[in-house]
Amino acid sequence: MQRTIASGGAPHGCRPAPDIGCVDELTKEFIAESQEGLDRMERCLTELEMRPDDSGLLGEIFRAVHTIKGTTGFLGFDRLEKLAHAGEHLLGSLRDGRLAVNSDLISGLLRLMDGLRAILVLIEETGSEGTRAGDEDGELIAELAMLNGQEPSELPEIEAPQIALVEGAAKVEGAAPSTPSGGAASALQPTVVTEKASADKTLRIDVDVLNRMMNLVGELVLTRNQMLQSGMEAANFPELARRLDSVTADLRETVMQARMQPVGNLFGKFPRMVRDLARTCGREVRVEFSGQETGLDKSLLEAIKDPLTHAVRNAVDHGIESPADRVLAGKSAEGCLRLKAFHQSGSVVIEIEDDGAGIPIERVLQKAIERNLVTAEDAVGMSEREALQLIFLPGFSTAAAVTTVSGRGVGMDVVRANVEKVGGSVEVESRRGVGTTLRLRVPLTLAIVPSLVVKSGGQAFALPQSTLVELVDIPEREFAQVVQRIGSSELYRLRERLLPMVWLDRLLGLEAENPDQSKGHYLAVLEAEGCRYGLVVDDLMSPEEIVVKPLSPVLREIGLFSGATVLGNGSLALILDIGATAARAGVKPIEEEIGGIGSGEAAVHEATGSSFLIFEDRARERTALPLDVVERIESVPLGQIEYAGGRALLQYRGELLPLRDEGSVLIEMEAARQAGEEAMVTVLICGDASVGGAQRGGMVVRRVLDVSNGTLLDQDEATEGMELALVKEKLTLVHREFGVKAKAGWQEVA
């Protein structure tokens, strides 16, 4: 007993810790805390540069350094203490208003932070802080003292001896050979990497979340026990199965929640990086953030860290012009870089927007020809959108000169590859002289993907919902009419646009096991990597939320499948890689701007602003909704619709949707059900995607008729305040309740 106390107490006591081989718990905790403090400090420092008078920020920075200093003294890390002390001293002067914030000072403080970080990493790795003489930090301490001592006349007397002392140390350092300080500088690079590595492995979780998880696991065990005891035949088996279902769903959600991290954690690194970059490149850049609180799965956050960093570098180096050029172009000297994160239809979108010069199309084409990425003839015929896609090709870089920042051949192709590896997509929009927007779209989570299971050649395949634009049923008798041929390739005419058709069974070399030709085919309209095509499959099975399992390397090599999954019936289905399938089938990215998934807001209005989904709610009346507010059309059993306070509600994917029932369809259905008929209600899930689906709602309709283009009629006396449109030459009432933005869009159409 006594021995344990003795051995446990030693490292915590006044004996200096450097001699111990490994890192004890207390030190670990200290390192984690300090690193968090330094992260905070980093954020505050860059903000401080913009708002030098903010005493709150300064206080926060001071606290971070002060805490480190205080704890190191207790733990016996002399070197760390000395450096932290020098920093605290400088910050003290700053806080008392004896010094003014300028960029040299901020740079000095950032270097202080780097120095502290380096020592922390050293402690974490080796358990000691390196040379106890602390001479490696001499230069830094001297610099901090210099910064502090620049206005010595304003300093009170008491401070003077201390400064002299530190300066004295600096002189000694100056006399010493310069190798140690050089070593300190070079040591910074690798340490940053290792710090990342250790941060990746740990995750902070709310204790409440953890407790909830434990409760749910307990519940799971209890349910299992009950199931084992009662057996399949028991009367309460369905109830147990239902309980298991709900516990599983809750547990999954809780685990997901625990894995969710705010995007702000990632953004936090950027102000500093942009600041340093801007200085190297001679730019003036302001960084703005929005949506830092948007949650994203931890593993995804890690996966997009590098692409995002690269994109930010690009924006500063290539995007934003030098201050002189900006002034010439009539813009403010300071460029603006905006990082935005938000949810959009089941995925997280991260936008990197700069107000720079935009991407020069002719330079892109010229470069692409130079590097033999396209032929000169091809380049002539290229549309702007196609040309912009070239920047994603391997080996492409428009940087005029190779700088330390960019132009080293690692380019947008890597960004795209990394994002697509996690099931996301990258888009770029650029306007000459106005700026460039790069949009990374990533799924909320990697593990579970909503997808549609289809059948082809007797085998099941899963198509990720994110790539699915729409489904078209082609009955056999209409097949010959709607399918058109150019040479050997088949095309489907979808709303006056020709869509290349890809037969899944032929592509995969499966025998067509569909003797029942009368059933016809289904066309899944898919879009990935700028390619849009129709995949012909034999049958549609259920939409399922599938759990993605990786394939072995040999099967990954085929390049057409991104994984496999176990379906509800216990069989396996392969998950089709939509982009790779397109490439295999020879589908090229489309030229025109299409207002489908992922195009800019403006484009959505342009292309589909006048497209309507036409349905019937009141008898004999045609009603329409703009297509872009309708997210899905669901068929729901009447029993699933619940009522609260006289309002009909639907539980839909963990959300409570208020239902609008203008035509009293529900009442009629209820009557039909009492008459013994099986009742399925058609519900349009509506929402304004651009506001993150916050204003979602459902609309109960009798039946869905069509999707078509139409024109809104001008309002006059005859319309009596109703929004009417002519769709296919028939009068149609248009709903206008979903979203203010949608309304604005309609006005444009009108």
Partner 1 sequence: MKIAGREKLDEIQDENDAVSLCSLYAGSEMLGIDTRKIREVLGERDLQRVPMSPVFIAGVVPYRGEVLTTVNLRALLGMEAHTGKGCVLVMADDEAAERFGLVVDAVGGVVTVSRRVLEDNPCTLEARGKWLFDGAYKMEAGLMVQLDPQKLSPSRLSEVGLFKNSSNGGTDASPDR
Q: Binding residues for partner 1, per CB under 8 A?
A: 457, 459, 508-510, 549-555, 557-558, 560-561, 563-564, 566, 570-574
Nearest-angstrom CA–CA distance, 51 and 54:
6
Distances from the Cα of 666 to the Cα of 259, 618, 651, 662, angstroms = 40, 12, 16, 10
Q: Of the candidates 420, 417, 365, 422, which has an alpha carbon nearest to the alpha carbon of residue 396?
A: 365
CB of 467 to partner 1, least distance (A): 19
DSSP tag of 715: P
- Cβ proximity to partner 1, 7 vs 552, nearer residue: 552
Beta bridge partners of 348: 343, 442
- How many of the other CB atoms lie within 10 Å of CB of 633? 14
- Cβ proximity to partner 1, 257 vs 459, nearer residue: 459
- Cβ proximity to partner 1, 525 vs 573, nearer residue: 573
CB of 347 to partner 1, least distance (A): 25
- Cβ proximity to partner 1, 10 vs 510, nearer residue: 510
CB of 452 to partner 1, least distance (A): 18
CB of 249 to partner 1, least distance (A): 18
Pairing verdict, β 285-290 and 697-701: unpaired
Record the tokens describing residue 7, joined without a space: 């051995």
Coil/strand/helix, residue 624: strand
- Cβ proximity to partner 1, 447 vs 469, nearer residue: 447
CB of 542 to partner 1, least distance (A): 18
Nearest-angstrom CA–CA distance, 359 and 64:
42
- How many of the other CB atoms lie within 10 Å of CB of 572? 11
CB of 556 to partner 1, least distance (A): 10
Distances from the Cα of 352 to the Cα of 356, 597, 738, angstroms = 12, 18, 28
- Cβ proximity to partner 1, 447 vs 749, nearer residue: 447
- Cβ proximity to partner 1, 320 vs 546, nearer residue: 546
Nearest-angstrom CA–CA distance, 32 and 28:
6
CB of 251 to partner 1, least distance (A): 15
- Cβ proximity to partner 1, 178 vs 571, nearer residue: 571
- Cβ proximity to partner 1, 555 vs 704, nearer residue: 555
CB of 203 to partner 1, least distance (A): 22
Residue 42 near residue 8 (C-beta atoms within 8 A): no
Distances from the Cα of 575 to the Cα of 417, 470, 506, 536, 551, angstroms = 18, 18, 17, 16, 10
Q: Of the candidates 523, 533, 524, which has an alpha carbon nearest to the alpha carbon of residue 582?
A: 533
Nearest-angstrom CA–CA distance, 317 and 589:
28
Q: What are phi and psi of 723, to 5 degrees?
A: -85, 115
Q: Of the candidates 308, 553, 298, which has an alpha carbon nearest to the alpha carbon of residue 418?
A: 308
Nearest-angstrom CA–CA distance, 118 and 108:
15
- Cβ proximity to partner 1, 577 vs 688, nearer residue: 577
The helix-helix angle for 25-50 and 270-281 (nearest 10°) equals 50
- Cβ proximity to partner 1, 573 vs 724, nearer residue: 573
Show Cβ contacts of residue 94 under 8 Å, excluding neighbours closer than 6 positions. 58, 62, 101, 105
- How many of the other CB atoms lie within 10 Å of CB of 430? 22
- Cβ proximity to partner 1, 379 vs 508, nearer residue: 508
CB of 530 to partner 1, least distance (A): 24
Nearest-angstrom CA–CA distance, 647 and 657:
10
Residue 464 near residue 515 (C-beta atoms within 8 A): no
- Cβ proximity to partner 1, 330 vs 570, nearer residue: 570
The side-by-side arrangement of strands in the sheet containing 448-456 is 539-547, 448-456, 459-464, 572-576, 561-566
- Cβ proximity to partner 1, 140 vs 564, nearer residue: 564
CB of 422 to partner 1, least distance (A): 19
Record the tokens describing residue 50, joined without a space: 């913009």
Residue 733 near residue 617 (C-beta atoms within 8 A): no
Q: Of the candidates 741, 735, 686, 740, which has an alpha carbon nearest to the alpha carbon of residue 712?
A: 735
CB of 561 to partner 1, least distance (A): 7
CB of 460 to partner 1, least distance (A): 8
- Cβ proximity to partner 1, 536 vs 700, nearer residue: 536
- Cβ proximity to partner 1, 505 vs 628, nearer residue: 505
Which residue is listed with tokens 């058709």?
A: 501
CB of 575 to partner 1, least distance (A): 10
Distances from the Cα of 314 to the Cα of 174, 354, 406, 418, 426, angstroms = 39, 10, 7, 16, 14
CB of 190 to partner 1, least distance (A): 28
- Cβ proximity to partner 1, 448 vs 551, nearer residue: 551
Q: What are phi and psi of 616, to 5 degrees?
A: -120, 125
Which residue is listed with tokens 């004996």?
A: 15
Which residue is listed with tokens 């147990």?
A: 240
Note the helical H segments in 231-360. Answer: 237-259, 264-267, 270-281, 298-314, 323-328
